[in-house]
A and B are shown apart, each in its own frame.
Chain A
Amino acid sequence: MAEADNETTAKGEEPLLSVRHLRKSYGDHEVLKDVSFDVRRGQVLVLLGPSGSGKSTLIRCLNGLETIQGGEIRFKGEVVPNNSEKAWRRLRTEIGMVFQSYDLFPNLTVAKNIELGPTKVQKRPKAEVDEQMDRLLADVQLSEYKNAYPRELSGGQKQRIAIVRALAMNPELMLFDEVTASLDPEMVREVLELMLRLAKRHMTMIVVTHEMEFARRVADTVMFLENGVILERQSGSDFFTNPETDRARNFLDSMSPVGDE
């Protein structure tokens, strides 16, 4: 899994997600400038960069939550018509997303939160969904919270449930937007470990994070963004030991705790 990622995808294998010349701006302010990259099935791509580099905006574009001003996004080989809410709505059932802010619906129990998408959007039978939910909850050791409301959960538990909620849709791609950023340090680990397990099971993932140690462990590929431009794209191991650009090196230095080897 950790082998260097060729920029040109291996012949014959269609990338799961492919982005070409993506441009995004808020008014006059360009947030993403000509961004292109591919994601293979089973690949874990980590987006790094200083705050304001555009990485969160980029990951939101990949789920159609932001309108884009140019470029092309392909999912499973098919072009997503730009800014077509209808097309994105269909794709979002195949692309799971977890956010930084706790996004469980506060008025619904854990079980209802998880069932909502599969039963109401995907229209799958409730019995089947419940069976899957029980398995997923057991897997994250939160079965006893099935009938709890989000306010009764810790931040870490909320984020694990949010991940389960996304997984219950059987997504082919998971997007994680700084999911540990608002957690207390002791809760960060339980969430990151769940994500590591997903990576081991070959879930295709795009992850925006500030947790360097986690990034090092989970990333097949790292993309380093600054000012809306991809400055560097490397295998995870190469990026952390031997970054190509000074920018990336400075960034890594600033992120590593004092006294780190």
Chain B
Amino acid sequence: MEPLAITDAAGAAYVTVASGAGVIFTGDNLTRLLSGLGTSVTVAGLALIVGIPLGIVLGALRILHNPFLRAILRLYLEFFRIVPTLVILFLSYYILPRELGVQVDGVTVAVVAFGLWVAAEISDIVRGALISVSDHQVDAGKALGMNGLQILWYVRIPQSVNLMVPATINLAARVIMTTSLLLLISVIDVITVGQQIMEANRMTHPDAAFWVYGFIFFLYFIICWPLAMIAKALEKRAKERNNG
């Protein structure tokens, strides 16, 4: 796919720097790149806000002994396991406007697609964490006369959040990385902005692509890497706690 050839007046106005690296810091290019990144992070944030509560409910339902419900939820999860996120995004892009009968902007399409994907992943995280709580603990709760919801609330959830949180942070980092796909449904994200800048400087700075893509690579890294580190530290702490 060729970069979009949308020439930008502001980008074209400041093209006097020698190295392609300088292009990033010319004019308001940096601000534009960062606001593009803002769009990506916003989409990721909204998808998580939509997906996490939905996923928690689905995950909790999956530990019930209702075979029908289990099968349906399992099927939901497996669909997202098998179909690449990019394809989910396309499905949402083509199907959503038709089903709703209205124009739907790219951000909404992405939030729906990623939100449903997040819900599937979270449901698996939540289920895995909830069933990791030992049967003895559940029996102890039952022996105190607790009902299903009370066991969930007072026994299972408090003893498994320390497993859920790091996995969720890791997922958040993955969602942010996945927002790089937004340019494929014409959302003006950080990559699209980068392509506009390269296009505007194509003549003066032929090596801009190297620096701009390198810079965007670096931007994603400084957002996602700290998240991964935090998740790792929390995981370690949870493990120590469980052994201690």
Check A236 for interface membership: any CB of B closer than 8 A.
no
Q: Is the CB of A92 within 8 A of B139?
A: no
CA distance A15 to B143 in the complex (A): 22
Out of B134, B145, B158, B244, which one reaches A169, CB within 8 Å?
A: B145
- Given A63-B143, A99-B136, A99-B140, does the pair A106, B159 have CB atoms closer than 8 Å? yes
Check A243 for interface membership: any CB of B closer than 8 A.
no
B154 contact set on A, CB distance < 8 A: 105, 116, 120
Q: Is the CB of B143 within 8 A of A121?
A: no
CA distance A91 to B147 in the complex (A): 12
Q: Is the CB of B143 within 8 A of A105?
A: no
Q: Is the CB of B136 within 8 A of A101?
A: yes
- Given A65-B143, A89-B145, A121-B150, does the pair A105, B137 have CB atoms closer than 8 Å? yes
In the complex, the chain B residue whose C-beta lies closest to that of A97 is B143
Q: Is the CB of B145 within 8 A of A99?
A: no
Q: Is the CB of B155 within 8 A of A121?
A: no
Check A96 for interface membership: any CB of B closer than 8 A.
yes
- How many B residues, CB 8 Å from partner? 17
Check A9 for interface membership: any CB of B closer than 8 A.
no
Q: Is the CB of B142 within 8 A of A92?
A: yes
Q: Is the CB of A107 within 8 A of B158?
A: yes
In the complex, the chain A residue whose C-beta lies closest to that of B134 is A101
Q: Is the CB of A122 within 8 A of B142?
A: no
B145 contact set on A, CB distance < 8 A: 89-93, 117, 121-122, 169
Q: Is the CB of B159 within 8 A of A169?
A: no
When each residue 64-99 of chain A gets 1 if its CB lies under 8 Å from chain B and 0 otherwise, what string results?
110000000000000000000000011111011101
Check B146 for interface membership: any CB of A closer than 8 A.
yes
B137 contact set on A, CB distance < 8 A: 103, 105
CA distance A193 to B52 in the complex (A): 50
B143 contact set on A, CB distance < 8 A: 63, 65, 92, 95-97, 99, 103, 166
Interface of B is mostly: helix
A181 to chain B, nearest CB (A): 13
Q: Is the CB of A151 within 8 A of B144?
A: no
A120 contact set on B, CB distance < 8 A: 146, 150, 154
When each residue 98-127 of chain A gets 1 if its CB lies under 8 Å from chain B and 0 otherwise, what string results?
010101111110000000110011100000
A95 contact set on B, CB distance < 8 A: 143
B125 to chain A, nearest CB (A): 19
- How many A residues, CB 8 Å from partner? 29
Interface residues of A in 1-20 (CB under 8 A from B): none
CA distance A120 to B155 in the complex (A): 12
CA distance A103 to B144 in the complex (A): 11
Q: Give the one of A90, A99, A122 with max B CB within 10 A.
A: A99
CA distance A97 to B143 in the complex (A): 6
CA distance A232 to B203 in the complex (A): 99
CA distance A165 to B141 in the complex (A): 11
B149 to chain A, nearest CB (A): 11
B240 to chain A, nearest CB (A): 11
Q: Give the one of A90, A91, A95, A97 with max B CB within 10 A.
A: A97
When each residue 136-179 of chain B gets 1 if its CB lies under 8 Å from chain A and 0 otherwise, what string results?
11011011111100100011001100000000000000000000
Interface residues of B in 206-244 (CB under 8 A from A): 244
- Given A63-B143, A116-B144, A117-B145, does the pair A105, B155 have CB atoms closer than 8 Å? yes
CA distance A103 to B134 in the complex (A): 10
Out of B142, B155, B244, which one reaches A65, CB within 8 Å?
A: B142
B139 contact set on A, CB distance < 8 A: 65, 99, 103
A160 to chain B, nearest CB (A): 15
Interface residues of A in 110-150 (CB under 8 A from B): 116-117, 120-122
B147 contact set on A, CB distance < 8 A: 89
Closest 5 CB pairs of A and B: A103-B140, A117-B144, A93-B145, A97-B143, A92-B145
List the interface of chain A (C-beta within 8 A of B): 63-65, 89-93, 95-97, 99, 101, 103-108, 116-117, 120-122, 151, 162, 165-166, 169
A116-B154, A165-B144, A166-B143 given. 16 additional CB < 8 A pairs? A65-B143, A93-B144, A95-B143, A97-B143, A99-B136, A99-B143, A103-B140, A103-B143, A105-B140, A105-B158, A107-B159, A117-B146, A120-B154, A121-B146, A169-B144, A169-B145
